[in-house]
Structure 1
Amino acid sequence: MHNSRVPETWSIAELAAEYDVTLRTIRFYEDRGLLTPERRGTTRVYHPRDRIRLALILRGKRLGFSLDEIARIVDMYDAEPGEEGQLVYLLNQITHRRQELEQRRQDIEQTLQDLAEVEARCHADLQALRNSKE
């Protein structure tokens, strides 16, 4: 018995439904070169690599990265560097991206603390107003 396992594939509609995006969004990422599905006639066939790349793209968008930044990150994920220069470059890029994300994390934490303080003051002011009306 021969076990030839065919890799799982997805249609554009399946990916769009899974990630809750429009077909137009996926086609836009294709036009930008971020996704490269296989073409079977007029049908797009997405492989696991495309699915992973789409997840990374959408995560990057949620984090506020530009499409150019996302492209660099996604390409790093995909890269199969073979020589020392490529590896050094990739490691430098990873370090740089990590520093950016750590700074964003600190900025988000600070913003959340600031919002909590403003929220607490608003609740206190609202309670004081309600108490003064009694």
Structure 2
Amino acid sequence: MARRTWSISELAREFDVTLRTIRFYEDRQMVSPARDGQRRIYSERDRVRLQLILRGRRLGFSLDEISRIIDMYDSPPGEDGQLRYLLAEIDHRREDLLRRRADIEQTLAELDDLERRCRSDLDRLLDPAGPRRAAPGRTTHAHPDQ
């Protein structure tokens, strides 16, 4: 039974990337298609590697990290080492994202508080039954940072 192969166009279409992207990964020796003259012929191994590269990029891994992870499969420490390394990297990535999320949540809470203060001050200024406006150069409301 003949093994399935893909052209660069087929892989580009399947993974929704440009031909240039795939050639870039080839230049970095992350995929290594066979050649038939000028035509590139990608094996199942190349297809899986491309899939792993693209997944790694979506997860925020650098190309060097992705290369290291992928190459571990074919050399010592093998798949066991590859998986252990990947699990450690996942932990680091998750910790970083959780820190970022906490920072974002804190910033959003501060923005909510500042917005409430600004709206309250604006409502007070626009309320005809409220206190009269201060003379120019004088304010009657607290600064939002107080």
TM-score of the pair, normalised by structure 2: 0.64
Counterparts of 2:53 and 2:38 in 1: how far apart (Å)? Answer: 24
Which entry has the higher C-alpha Rg, 1 or 2?
Answer: 2
What does residue 65 of structure 1 align with? Answer: 61
Higher relative contact order (CA 8 A, sep 6+): 1
Counterparts of 1:99 and 1:49 in 2: how far apart (Å)? Answer: 27
Counterparts of 2:117 and 2:4 in 1: how far apart (Å)? Answer: 57
Higher helix fraction (1 or 2)? 1
- Mapped pair 1:105 → 2:101: no
What does residue 139 of structure 2 align with? Answer: none
TM-score of the pair, normalised by structure 1: 0.68
Q: Greater shift after overlay, 7-16 or 116-125?
A: 116-125
Instruction: Specify every segment of 5 or more residues in structure 2 that has no aligned partner in the other structure, as ranges.
Output: 128-146
Instruction: Specify every segment of 5 or more residues in structure 1 that has no aligned partner in the other structure, as ranges.
Output: none
Counterparts of 1:64 and 1:128 in 2: how far apart (Å)? Answer: 41
Number of residue-to-residue matches in the alignment? 125
- Mapped pair 1:23 → 2:15: no
Change (3 A) 1:12 1:133: farther
Q: What is the root-mean-square deviation of aligned Cα atoms in Å?
A: 3.0
Find 1:79's aligned residue among 74, 80, 99.
74
